[in-house]
Amino acid sequence: MTMFLLLTSLAAASDVTPQNWQTHPEITEIRILRKTVEKESAHPTWRTTKENLATCVGQYVKKRATAQDQKGTIRRYKAEGSQEGIAFWTTQYYDNDGKLRFVHLKLTHTESDATANYTSFLDVHGDRLFEHVQRITDDEKLLPSGVPEKYIMARPDQIMANKSPCG
């Protein structure tokens, strides 16, 4: 039993790599969090909001939605829109304390139809543990190699409190 605990501790302390990311304990914990949020968000004590927004200069999100737990903490944020010739769809998950832990992002270059899916796993401090990029139809690599900061919503409560500049 002691050897098992030691091995478990060592595995958790090791870095997430392209070789171990699918089975790494920290990544597994984030996947469980994501599944739990999806399951719990259907519970009647959770509140969901959806907004359709007008687009204009400075406003690129067309739709956004949140799921809040019974304490009012945003646990899931979804958004879609387009900016500078790139359409985006994102779903982001937060832990019990409202810390961002997982980002799924899909980007499509509107002229070439190049598409890439991104997943980013973040630790309890908000630092990126690992990112995985799957280029669906982006042979020319028109899209970024990682999740751009402008798509990471660390504080969705502030984003949702901001009213659209479109009026």
Model confidence at 4: pLDDT above 50: no
* Biggest CA-to-CA distance, the chain: 62
pLDDT tens digits, 46-70: 999 999 988 777 778 999 999 999 9
Percent of residues, the chain, with pLDDT higher than 70 = 90
- Mean pLDDT score across all residues of the chain: 88
Question: Which residues, in sequence order, are CB contacts of 66 under 8 Å at separation 6+?
Answer: 48, 49, 74, 76, 77, 78, 156, 160
Tokens of 26: 């920290």
pLDDT tens digits, 25-47: 999 999 999 999 999 999 999 99
pLDDT for 10:
46
Per the CB < 8 A criterion, the answer to whether 116 and 92 are in contact is no
Angle in degrees, CA 134, 135, 139, rounded to 5: 155
DSSP reduced 3-state for 161:
helix
pLDDT for 95:
97
How far is residue 46's CA from residue 68's CA, in Å, rounded to a whole number?
A: 6
How far is residue 52's CA from residue 62's CA, in Å, rounded to a whole number?
A: 6
Tokens of 9: 């501790």
Q: With bands split at pLDDT 50, 70 and 90, how would you rate the model's confidence at 138?
A: confident
